[in-house]
Structure 1
Amino acid sequence: MKLDQIGQALASCYDNLVAEGMPDALAALVRRVDRAEREARAKAQAPASRIALVVEDEDETRDLAESVLEETDLHVVGCASAEQALTYLLEHGGEVALVFADIRLAGDMDGVQLARAIATLWPCTRLVVTSGVDPEPGDALPEGAVFIPKPWRAFDVLVEAERATRDRTPPVA
């Protein structure tokens, strides 16, 4: 008997079992089977996973941004430097929907330079740049990039993630 058939049989009996007083262990099993079935259906219907790349040299801030973005449909990958992000993008650039990067980064490149490189090489990638200070006048972000000042709100990051998954066309005109 297939897992989905077992799940359907258990789900159909669930109401009766609850009314009669189902043991907790059986109730937990029914919920697990039902959840597994829903997840399998969602995976079968969902398009290939896209990626959110978080580029931040401060571990705690990177972890927080990753946690926020894990609430989306995007697979989240963290990098501590622009160089590390570019190395990742060389292999997975076409799968990256969103890059969320700090301006000040460890290494030779900063977040503005990273954003310019991504805008040129992967123009369909949504760029979100953040910092505790406004970008310097000479550090103009590429057209279509979004600046979110620190401390950023999780809602603003989630809005940009939604745009990244919804809009597959380049943000530049």
Structure 2
Amino acid sequence: MQLDQIGQALASCYDHLVAEGIPDHLAALVRRVDRSNETPSAPGGRPKSRIALVVEDEQDTRELAEGVLEETELRVIGCDSAERALGILQESGGDVALVFADIRLAGAMDGLQLAHAIATLWPRTRLVVTSGLDPEPDVVLPEGAVFIPKPWRAFDVLVEAERAACDPLPVIS
């Protein structure tokens, strides 16, 4: 029997078990299994449908940014290259509200090239570009893009995520 089938069986018995009394550790397990089948929710209980895309080749930094953005109304997806980010955008571009990308990335395309491609192909996506180095003087960010230097503060990232989440979706005609 697969683990998810065991979890489903436990979840179906949960109400009955609670009435009879259930050990706390088993109740916690059943609740965790039951929640794993739900759609991720935003802090108000609303389903997370819009996406925050974190593009960072350093795993620890990417995981930190993902952890910060998990506190928002956005569903968070992380990737280590611009090419992977473009693949996600091709699948879900209309749902991507925020792209938080490092300038230096693994792969052939850097974060600035990614930002310009997104600004052209998905202009409603909020762009935040970050780097531990100041951009060269001749570097031009796409219109509306924001630069946040590393080490960035979680508050600054959350402010941009809030702006992205509150931005109304375009009207489809």
Q: TM-score, normalised by structure 1?
A: 0.73
Contact 2:48–2:74, Cα closer than 8 Å, also in 1: no
SS in 2 for 1:98: strand
- The aligned residue for residue 115 of structure 1 is 115
- The aligned residue for residue 132 of structure 1 is 132
- The aligned residue for residue 78 of structure 1 is 78
Change (3 A) 1:162 1:101: same
Contact 1:94–1:122, Cα closer than 8 Å, also in 2: yes
Q: TM-score, normalised by structure 2?
A: 0.73
Query: What is the total number of aligned residue pairs between the two structures?
Result: 155
> How much identity, in percent, do the aligned residues show?
69
- The aligned residue for residue 46 of structure 1 is 46
> Which whole-Å CA distance do the structure 2 matches of 1:24 and 1:128 have between them?
48
Q: How do residues 85-104 of structure 1 correspond to structure 2 at under 5 angstroms?
A: 85-104=85-104
CA deviation after TM superposition for structure 1 residue 46, in Å: 3.0
- The aligned residue for residue 56 of structure 1 is 56
SS in 1 for 2:164: helix
- The aligned residue for residue 12 of structure 2 is none
> Which whole-Å CA distance do the structure 2 matches of 1:130 and 1:45 have between them?
31
- Root mean square deviation of aligned Cα: 3.5
Structure 2 unaligned regions, length at least 5: 1-14
CA deviation after TM superposition for structure 1 residue 24, in Å: 9.3
CA deviation after TM superposition for structure 1 residue 137, in Å: 2.2
- The aligned residue for residue 149 of structure 1 is 149
> Which whole-Å CA distance do the structure 2 matches of 1:67 and 1:53 have between them?
12
Deviations 1:38-90 (A, max 9, x none): xx9x9697366110000000000001000110111111000100011001100
> Which whole-Å CA distance do the structure 1 matches of 2:45 and 2:75 have between them?
16
> Which whole-Å CA distance do the structure 2 matches of 1:169 and 1:102 have between them?
25
Structure 1 unaligned regions, length at least 5: 1-5, 11-22
> Which whole-Å CA distance do the structure 1 matches of 2:71 and 2:100 have between them?
15
Deviations 1:129-168 (A, max 9, x none): 0001111122210010000000000010001000000013
Contact 1:124–1:168, Cα closer than 8 Å, also in 2: no
Name the one with the larger helix percent: 1
SS in 1 for 2:72: coil
- The aligned residue for residue 15 of structure 1 is none
> Which whole-Å CA distance do the structure 2 matches of 1:133 and 1:62 have between them?
17
Contact 1:54–1:77, Cα closer than 8 Å, also in 2: yes
